[in-house]
């Protein structure tokens, strides 16, 4: 089981680095990167015997991201793009249910809190386009440090 956890951690770390670099440069999260990450995480989950937990984690975090994107678009606040929503779903695949609700909260609070602090320090408007994948990546990596997995 320890080997399976190490593989998930490495996949999430690689995704965090890739998504951050591309989002900072191009203001998008590449579908190919997310697809490869999702396939690797699902394969690892299937081999490790935690496929259901991983799939539920991906669905929950993806739905949460979709809801945030919908609310942001209705309020004309900007917010999460669909690449960010897909990245959240892949993060959920990696964190799964074994990390519990705390991991999802940490990912959202760390990512959202850092993004909000940066936006306030720059005196940017909420509608200004800002790459959010780096903050999601930071939140996911902090969530990996939580006990209970």
CB contact set of 39 (below 8 Å; sequence gap of 6+): none
The 3-class SS string of the chain reads: CHHHHHHHHHHHHHHHHHHHHHHHHHCCCCHHHHHHHHHHHHHHHHHHCCHHHHHHHHHHHHHHHHHHHHHHHHCCCCCCCHHHHHHHHHHHHHHCCCCHHHHHHHHHHHHHHHHHHHHHHCCCCCCCCCCCHHHHHHHHHHHHCCCCC
* Predicted confidence (pLDDT) per residue in 72-89, tens digit: 666 555 567 899 899 989
- The confidence score (pLDDT) of residue 46 equals 94
pLDDT for 56 equals: 92
Q: What is the pTM of this model?
A: 0.83
81: nearest Cα among 14, 117, 147, 34: 34
Kindly provide the b/e burial profile for residues 96-113, where b requires at least 16 CB atoms within 10 angstroms of the residue's own CB.
bbebeeebbebbbebbee
Domain boundaries, the chain: 2-144
> What is the spatial distance between Cα 117 and Cα 120, in angstroms, rounded to a whole number?
5
pLDDT, tens digit (0-9, with 9 covering 90-100), for 92-123: 998 887 665 566 677 667 766 776 776 677 66
């Amino acid at each position: 089981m320890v080997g399976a956890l190490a593989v998930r951690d490495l996949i999430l770390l690689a995704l965090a680095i890739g998504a951050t670099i591309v989002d900072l440069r191009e203001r998008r999260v590449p579908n190919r990167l997310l697809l490869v990450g999702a396939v690797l995480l699902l394969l690892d989950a299937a081999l490790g015997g935690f496929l259901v937990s991983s799939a539920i984690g991906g669905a929950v975090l993806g739905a949460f991201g979709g809801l945030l994107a919908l609310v942001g678009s209705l309020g004309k606040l900007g917010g999460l793009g669909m690449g960010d929503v897909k990245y959240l779903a892949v993060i959920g695949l990696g964190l799964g249910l074994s990390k519990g609700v705390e991991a999802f909260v940490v990912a959202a609070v760390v990512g959202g809190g850092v993004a909000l602090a940066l936006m306030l320090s720059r005196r940017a408007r909420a509608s200004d386009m800002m790459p959010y994948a780096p903050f999601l990546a930071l939140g996911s990596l902090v969530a990996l440090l939580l006990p209970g997995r």
